[in-house]
Structure 1
């Protein structure tokens, strides 16, 4: 958990970065500022090309910024080389030395620091136990599964006791089941290590599962930052809403006297709307099916899919748009393809979004 009582571990101020020169320059980070707390699991989330990995590499010291500053534990490291920063990085490829054993891989950084042999042996044992790899110390990477290699990479990065661990999509090479298992283990490891983790991913579920806070990035900027529940339940931008999970985006017109008239026909009692065209969002699980004529909107069932604990319905609206609705199997309201139904849209679940 984040330690909010102290100054931040990482402070980033007005960082900008471009690749290329002149008319060929591409700006990948545009005046980014944020603070990351001590013992916080912080995630940079966004699509490929949004700037999240470049920001991580700037913190690590692998790239230099065009402007702005980076401080770690109060010390300005903007111009410091990687080996003078109290951070370590776990890469997507793990980058283990194939000719070394697990123990030798983990000990490598400690030997480079010329630590005493006994201290190295003790620390290697500690971190291998932390990642539950004590029994595999004599094996080489080729003799390990993907999940085991990932644990060794984590142990090697933790061995020198960094103040910050940077993780660049470290789970992306794993299959789905193992990736879900490792998500839980990674969060437990962060709590046990008691240090700040900065995690980069394009996987929304991963970000929501692991993080104390998430920063959603697009085109080199942070659009929204906050706890996972806040990002999911109260998105402030259309991109954030659409990028995080399933959502219904309905176009309409804000009325002068209050409310929004949807293109699909309903007038929703929403206040504090900007004038003109707006987008109203609602998650599929927050809407409800009701008998025809009893909801805010009329709809037709196009297709229904059984998901185990829930049903996912694709609905057609009067303006030709579609609407996704997820309801628990135990809800008791059954309907078939082609049937007319009503849609109940709770006001507290509706969000008016910025473009």
Structure 2
């Protein structure tokens, strides 16, 4: 991650963006500010329409902000055209030229820059070796697999040596197994290249796997930003808690002086500063199944599924809601279908969120 004593790779201040005019105006970004450190793998995460791709396109120069400023390594590029910004972009569609070989595709931007032939040959070779595609230099894109085409697109973007590489859901077209393999390779590539990666995705697991930091977006705003573990373990918003992985959300009423009375009838002695209606959140792997009468909540096992590395139980609560519980320790109490059981809820695993 970046050293805070130097200028950030990307600095965004109070950026807003809307499309259309008058009554047809559609706000997309609302007063967004953030800093991305040098050599950081930073991810914008959120559902479709949250503004993450628009923010990436503003940094690339493909869109113009209605308000705010964008700086790259201290240089204001708010009004600069794309070709005057030290960034490059990898899109969902790899957009390789089908009539050119792999090495010609990678060299394309360098030719446009007027680089000398010998220097260009060296730079292309380095970029292809970085993505482990050196032996495919003479092939055409049609002769490559999806994963190989993705590597070529990365090499083409890296060859001009940008200060920041922007990646707009570049793994979304790959099948699940290949996508997971490429996640590991992409992180290794970022570390080897030593440059800043700004990654856009709607895939929560992808964001947690790859990132140094994650910014979760909704409706044009950043709701929470931090390291993956912090985002997962200590969400500050109900939307963030619900969007990142599986979670149990239990409704209740905040009590004066602390504590929450759940709609299921149980009072949880939790320290918090909320009032009125609240949501208590807990991850499925943090709760424990115990014999009936031994836990904070009573429940009934509705369904159990063997996942290989864990057992997943769907439980019914007295208020008619359901609760997911994931067990990875084979020695834990299991219970059986239809059995009444208890739920142990460690206080350090519970989060009280405003609704």
Instruction: Name the TM-score class by shorter chain.
Output: over 0.9
Alignment of 1:1-355 (within 5 A): 1-355=1-355
CA shift, 1:330, in A, is 1.6
| Alignment TM-score, normalising by the size of structure 2 | 0.99
Indicate if the aligned counterparts of 1:3 and 1:40 stay in contact, CA closer than 8 A.
Answer: no
Structure 1, residues 121-152: CA drift from partner, whole Å, max 9, x if none?
A: 00000010000000000001011000000000
CA shift, 1:40, in A, is 0.3
CA shift, 1:266, in A, is 1.2
Which stretch shifts more, 133-142 or 330-339? 330-339
Which stretch shifts more, 331-340 or 280-289? 331-340
Q: In the aligned structure 1, how far is the partner of 2:259 from the partner of 2:301? A: 27
CA shift, 1:332, in A, is 3.1
SS in 1 for 2:89: strand
Indicate if the aligned counterparts of 1:285 and 1:325 stay in contact, CA closer than 8 A.
Answer: yes
| Alignment TM-score, normalising by the size of structure 1 | 0.99
Show structure 2 runs of 5+ residues with no match. none
Matched length: 355
Indicate if the aligned counterparts of 1:3 and 1:39 stay in contact, CA closer than 8 A.
Answer: no
Indicate if the aligned counterparts of 1:259 and 1:273 stay in contact, CA closer than 8 A.
Answer: no
CA shift, 1:331, in A, is 3.1
Alpha-carbon RMSD: 0.8
Q: In the aligned structure 1, how far is the partner of 2:332 from the partner of 2:215? A: 38
Structure 1, residues 62-112: CA drift from partner, whole Å, max 9, x if none?
A: 000100000001000000000000000000001111110000000010111
Q: In the aligned structure 2, how far is the partner of 1:237 from the partner of 1:198? A: 23
Indicate if the aligned counterparts of 2:289 and 2:332 stay in contact, CA closer than 8 A.
Answer: no
Structure 1, residues 212-232: CA drift from partner, whole Å, max 9, x if none?
A: 000000000000000000000
Q: In the aligned structure 1, how far is the partner of 2:238 from the partner of 2:329? A: 30
Show structure 1 runs of 5+ residues with no match. none
Q: In the aligned structure 2, how far is the partner of 1:38 from the partner of 1:229? A: 21
Q: In the aligned structure 2, how far is the partner of 1:177 from the partner of 1:3? A: 35
Q: In the aligned structure 2, how far is the partner of 1:265 from the partner of 1:306? A: 31
CA shift, 1:3, in A, is 3.5
Q: In the aligned structure 2, how far is the partner of 1:334 from the partner of 1:27? A: 50
SS in 2 for 1:209: helix
Indicate if the aligned counterparts of 1:2 and 1:212 stay in contact, CA closer than 8 A.
Answer: no
Which stretch shifts more, 332-341 or 155-164? 332-341
SS in 2 for 1:15: strand
Q: In the aligned structure 1, how far is the partner of 2:265 from the partner of 2:148? A: 55
Q: In the aligned structure 2, how far is the partner of 1:180 from the partner of 1:90? A: 18
CA shift, 1:354, in A, is 2.8
Indicate if the aligned counterparts of 1:58 and 1:65 stay in contact, CA closer than 8 A.
Answer: yes
CA shift, 1:2, in A, is 3.3
